């Protein structure tokens, strides 16, 4: 039986690959002004922040579900 982490790994690697692709798009085009460069930087930081938030909340919910107290364990205390 595969663990949940092994089943989740292909999805995570796909997500990371897509994010890296979209982060590289602004550098493919010549930036003509300071405002455009700052806007591209803002968008990159925003995307990275969203990705980190999704990973953190995913791990949080995984830990809550994985390590919650089971009903049969509550009566044994």
Return the domain boundaries, the chain: 4-69
pLDDT of residue 51: 96
Mean pLDDT taken over the chain: 79
Q: What is the mean pLDDT of residues 9-32?
A: 68
Comparing 66 with 23, which gets the higher pLDDT?
66
Listed in sequence order, the DSSP H helices in the chain are 4-28, 34-66, 71-76
Residues 47 and 19: beta-carbon distance below 8 Å: yes
Q: Which residues contact 23 (CB under 8 A, 6 or more apart)?
A: 44, 47, 48
Total-model pTM: 0.51
Q: Which residues contact 66 (CB under 8 A, 6 or more apart)?
A: 4
pLDDT per residue over 53-74, tens digit each? 999 999 999 999 988 877 776 5
Q: What is the mean pLDDT of residues 25-29?
A: 61
């Amino acid at each position: 039986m595969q663990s949940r982490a092994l089943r989740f790994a292909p999805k995570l690697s796909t997500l990371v690959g897509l994010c890296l692709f979209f982060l590289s798009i602004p550098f493919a085009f010549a930036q003509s002004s300071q405002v455009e460069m700052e806007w591209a930087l803002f968008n990159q930081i925003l995307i990275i922040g969203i990705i980190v938030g999704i990973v953190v909340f995913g791990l949080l919910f995984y830990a809550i579900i994985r390590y919650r107290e089971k009903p049969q364990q509550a009566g044994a205390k």
